[in-house]
Amino acid sequence: MDNLSLKEFSLLTASKEPTPGGGGVCASIGALAASLGEMVTNLTIGKAKYLMYTDDLEDIRKELDLIRFNLLACINGDRDAFIPLAKAYAMPKDSPGYKEELERCLKVAADSPMLILKYCTRIIELDEKLAFMGSKLSVSDAATSVMLAHGTLYGAYVNVLVNTRLMNDKEYASNMEKEAGSLLDKYSKKALKVYDDICKRLTNG
């Protein structure tokens, strides 16, 4: 999907095609969240009022650029994880190795949204720093970034659950659900606080 325009990507998402679905869209929105955070660093570095943050901002910029790249890769990764899962679903249930193959594919498919979720937690952590390091003229983009990441947490979480609920390995499924749920709880709250802090900064509250 690397060469699709935004229009083509949205049309394909809207179609009957199974991919891109929720996971791929989460990855794309997460990548945009990282892009906005990176934009804040680029608009702040070099400004006299924020020179004391230059080294930190450059580190944040590099990390967000890498996260953006990795999340874009997750769009294809999510598709690549779904294709064998769809084939496993289509197998006759009495086929030799059916249960084992389905279990394997479910675990691979759950790994993709879990990875997306984790990348977005890091975006939120970096936006938390940009909330006070970023230029006041561009910090609204950090607020937008953190809320895009916030929404992506929920989308990624439910895409973990849609796979874990069908796993026979209940211990593995439970551990993954607990990890994803813990991250969702912690970082959804953090994202809202970052957003609120930026709004207060912009209104001098």
- Answer yes or no: is 12 within a domain: no
Contact status, residue 131 vs residue 194, Cβ threshold 8 Å: yes
The burial class, CB within 10 Å (0-12 / 13-18 / 19+), for 48 is exposed
CATH number for 143: 1.20.120.680
pLDDT (0 to 100) of residue 17: 86
- Answer yes or no: is 75 within a domain: yes
- Answer yes or no: is 113 within a domain: yes
- Answer yes or no: is 4 within a domain: no
Closest to 67 (Cα-Cα) out of 36, 45, 43, 42? 36
- Answer yes or no: is 149 within a domain: yes
pLDDT profile of the chain (205 residues), mean per 10: 84 88 94 98 96 97 98 93 87 87 94 97 98 95 98 97 95 97 98 97 83
Measured between alpha carbons, how far is 63 from 126 in angstroms, rounded to an integer? 9
pLDDT (0 to 100) of residue 9: 87
For 4-66, the DSSP string reads --HHHHHHHHHSS-SSS-HHHHHHHHHHHHHHHHHHHHHHHTT-GGGGGGHHHHHHHHHHHHH
- Answer yes or no: is 9 within a domain: no
- Answer yes or no: is 141 within a domain: yes
The pTM of the whole model exceeds 0.75? yes
Contact status, residue 183 vs residue 154, Cβ threshold 8 Å: no
- Answer yes or no: is 137 within a domain: yes
pLDDT (0 to 100) of residue 162: 95
47 phi and psi angles, rounded to 5 deg: -75, 135
pLDDT (0 to 100) of residue 205: 53
pLDDT (0 to 100) of residue 111: 95
196 phi and psi angles, rounded to 5 deg: -65, -40
Domain interval for residue 63: 21-202
Q: How many domains does the chain have?
A: 1
Closest to 32 (Cα-Cα) out of 86, 76, 69? 69
